[in-house]
Every structure is written in C-alpha cells, then in structure tokens.
Amino acid sequence: METVSELLSDDSLVMRLAAAFRRAGHDLYLVGGPVRDMYLRRPHVDLDFSTGATPEETLEIVKKLSTTQWLQGMKFGTVGAEIDGVHLEITTFRTERYEVDSRHPRVEFESDVETDLSRRDFTVNAVAMRLPEKTIVDPFGGLDDIKERVLETPIHPDDSFSDDPLRMLRAFRFASQLDFRISQDVLDSVARLKEKLRTVSAERIADELAKLLLGERPGPALEQADATGLTDEFLPELSGLKLEQDPVHRHKDVFHHTLAVLERTEPILQLRLAALLHDVGKPKTRRIGPEGVSFHHHEVVGADMARERLRALRYPNEIVDSVAEMIRLHHRFHTYRLGWSDAAVRRYVRDAGPLLGLLNALVRADCTTRNAEKAKRLAARMDELEDRISELAAREEIDKMRPELDGGQIMAYLGIPPGPLVGQARDFMMELRLDEGLLGEDEAYARLDAWAREHGIEPAGTRVPPKEKKKDA
Ligand code: ATP
Ligand code: MG
C-alpha cells in the first residue's frame, strides 16, 4: 500500500488534481484521516479533500482526471472519484442554512477551511494540507495533539457532542484504533451527555463499535467508555458483567476477563464480537451452591442475549448468526478433558461448520488464567483436538474412497459371475486408486484388462455405467 506521502509525490495524480483546481481558481485541501495518518506514519486508504469549489465545479475538474465518479453525495457537497485506483472524496466547505422565509432548508457552500475544520470531531482530524503547496492549516493545535497522542475537540466538547452525539463513541473508536488517550474534558463531557447517544441510529453506532472492536486496543477503550456510562446506552450487557466470578480466577470479574479475551483475539469482526459477548449469559445464570459458583447453560442464554443485542444494533444476519453460534458452542470444548469419542469430535466439527477455525480461536483466547500450568494444559488439549480433527478428516476421506470401477463394471468387463475373483479384481482396483489416484475410465479399464490377462482371464470387454455412487470421483 502506498503511504499518503507517496500519493503526494510531485508527478502524482493527486498533485495533478490539485494543479487543475488551482488553474480553475479554487482551493484544494487534504483533510482529516489521511493528514493525521501521514504524521503517524500509518497507511491510509481513502483520501478526503475540502474545497471552495461548488460540487458542480468540482465534478467538472474531476471528470477530466478520474475513471469513475460518484454523484450520490452531491446534494450534501461531496463528489467521489477514483484516480489511479485511489478512492477520493472532495467536499465543498459547507454551512447548513435554514432560511426563515424559505420552506426548504438550504445547504450553502460559502465558508472557509477554518470553519470546515471547526466542525470536525477531534483536533487530530481537523488538520488540513493546502495543495499543491503542501502547507499545513492547523487552527486547533491538531499536530501537537497528534504528537501527544490525545483526543480533544476543536470546540467545547459539550457543543460538539450536542451537534452530533455519535462523536462521543468516535472518541473511543479512535482511542482503540490509534491507541490515543482521551482528554479529561472530553471524558467528562461524555459522562454528562451520554444519553444523547440514544438519538443516533443503530447503524451508525454499530459501524463505530465495529471499528472500535477491530482497533489495536479495544479493551482499554471499552473500559473507559464503560466508566463514562456511554456503553450503557447501546450495550448495557457490558457493565452487567461486573460480578464476582471466583477468587482463584485471574480476573476477579467477568467484565475484565471479557476485555482480556477481546485483546487476545485477532481483529476479525465476528471473532471480536463473540469475544465481547461470550459471557453475557453469566449474570443471569449465576448460582452459588455448596460446590461454589456455577453458570449452568450460560452459553445458551448468552447466545440468545447476544443475538438480540446484535439484531438491535442492526448487524447483518450472517454476523448475528455466526456470533450467536460461536457463543453457544464456546463451552463444548471444556468437556473434552473427559475424553471424546470420534463421534463427539465429528459432532463438534459438524456443529461448528464453517465457524470451526474462529470458534477454536475464541476458545483459546477464553483461557485467561494466571496459572501457567493450567494455561499450558488447555492449549495442549486444544492442539490435540485440532490434530484429531484433521486426522479424522483425512481418515474419512480415505474411507469414502472407492475403486474407479465398481463390482458391476468389473463383472461385465471380465464377463464373469459374482465370486471370489470379482473380489480380487476389486481389491486390485482399490490398490490402484490408493497408489495412483484417479486414472480416468479408459486407463482404469486398460489396467483391469492387463490384470485379467495375467490371471488367465480373457475379458469380454463389455463396458456398463457405474452402479455404486462414486463419492470421491
Ligand atoms: P478512518 O478512515 O481511518 O476510520 P477517518 O479519520 O478518515 O478514519 P472517517 O470516519 O472516515 O474517519 O471520517 C473522515 C473525516 O471526517 C474525519 O477525519 C473527521 O474529520 C470527519 N468526520 C467524520 N465523521 C464525523 C462526525 N460525526 N463529526 C465530525 N467530523 C466527522
Ligand atoms: Mg476515512
């Protein structure tokens, strides 16, 4: 992947685009994520620009330089385009104006880059680079905040979060993604205004939650979000996990255990969602008996709760289903120490289906015990189960194997009735199948023919279609 700086090399298409805007008498600024990530030396895929040109003027310029244009956003000031395989969006500086004497609100495009930057979520995202000069416009100290790795709002956080409450969740998303700290002002403001998140659509929340989960440090980000009370607005199950589990466990509560499991998983959305929700059934199923604490069937209760929550957040069905299924199955492995028959292994593989790899990854991550011996034992047991699964699969592939010609075909070709000779011929054909794999019908008959003559049989030479279903053909 090219870095942002490479995309800005002198003869690049982006620079030619900037020159074209300049020739037409308009400003062009690279803004937001790409500028921030350039300073962080992180790769960034999409390029966002701001300009004083109207969307129509922008389209005029962009048409000549790009292969594809997207016009759906033009009403709101955004023209999308692809240049040299790079996706870019160019947005006109805008202020929304609701004129008193007009029946229709109007979007007006007439402010400057500073106003545009002041409407952005965090100072680290409110830095612009004027092109083609590559001079920086940084009215809110964004570069310092990038250096300090801190998230601050350009205007008072209460005003910013009242304008768009989703920004509260975006703070924790960027904290996870960039491993940045969130300023105390911002945290205090979130604690004050968290209820406003209720006015935000589930889709926008789910999108930011997914980005948060897939970031570098989802654990600390969620812990902080929980401390402000924000997660209670869209994921109340999380704070519900703060209950005593049992004193010998590494984590004194399921909440911290959950965050630790999350951090131990690869950044794959289904897997991280399953990690996040794998124990949500525990509070409801906790019983304290003479033997200590138990959470019978928490995986079943938890799978249902997870399904409901993910549906409410409007995640796609295949994500909802696979996460719920992984949660339902995440405890099965723990009965493995009692010994599993081949049938039990097969059933596990069948129930997990295509989720087997992710499920096993979840089970491995779920082991957060401080007891090194115990952790080693669990990992070794999972290795063993995975070995057995592949051995069993290989064995069953072989079991399913048939000789290339079946009994009926052998009898017809050789012109002999059922009897021991047919069995011998079939064994010979099976050996061939194992030694050489599939030979094709003609070659298979040729080999059978040679075998027959060696055994003093003159083949009748009749070919009939196979009767047995060739499962492995
Ligand atoms: P990435 O693409 O790596 O997730 P990004 O910074 O590009 O990060 P986007 O969500 O793509 O984030 O948004 C692009 C830019 O638009 C941001 O950098 C920010 O300046 C601005 N922005 C996006 N959403 C909002 C919002 N809800 N409120 C204010 N500004 C926003
Ligand atoms: Mg972006």
pLDDT digits (tens, 9 = 90+) for 404-461: 999 999 999 999 999 999 999 999 998 898 888 889 999 999 999 999 999 999 999 9
pLDDT recorded at residue 285: 86
Question: Ligand 1: which of 88, 118, 125 to mutate, most ligand atoms within 8 Å of CB?
Answer: 125
- Say if residues 245 and 279 touch (Cβ distance below 8 Å): no
Ligand 1 contact via 208 beta carbon (within 6 Å): no
Residue with the smallest CA separation from ligand 1 atom 27 is 167
Distance separating alpha carbons of residues 116 and 146, to the nearest angstrom: 19
Ligand 1 pocket member 35 (CB < 6 A): no
138 lines ligand 1 (CB under 6 A): no
pLDDT one-digit tens code per residue, 296-341: 899 999 999 999 999 999 999 999 999 999 999 999 998 877 788 8
The atom of ligand 1 lying closest to the CA of 163 is 28
Q: Is the CB of 125 under 6 A from ligand 1?
A: yes
The pLDDT-based confidence of 109 (bands split at 50, 70, 90) is low
Amino acid type, 114: E
pLDDT tens profile 179-238: 999 999 999 999 999 999 999 999 999 999 999 999 999 999 999 999 999 999 999 999
- Chain segment 261-273, per-residue pLDDT in tens: 999 999 999 999 9
Q: Which residue has the tokens 């030396």?
A: 41
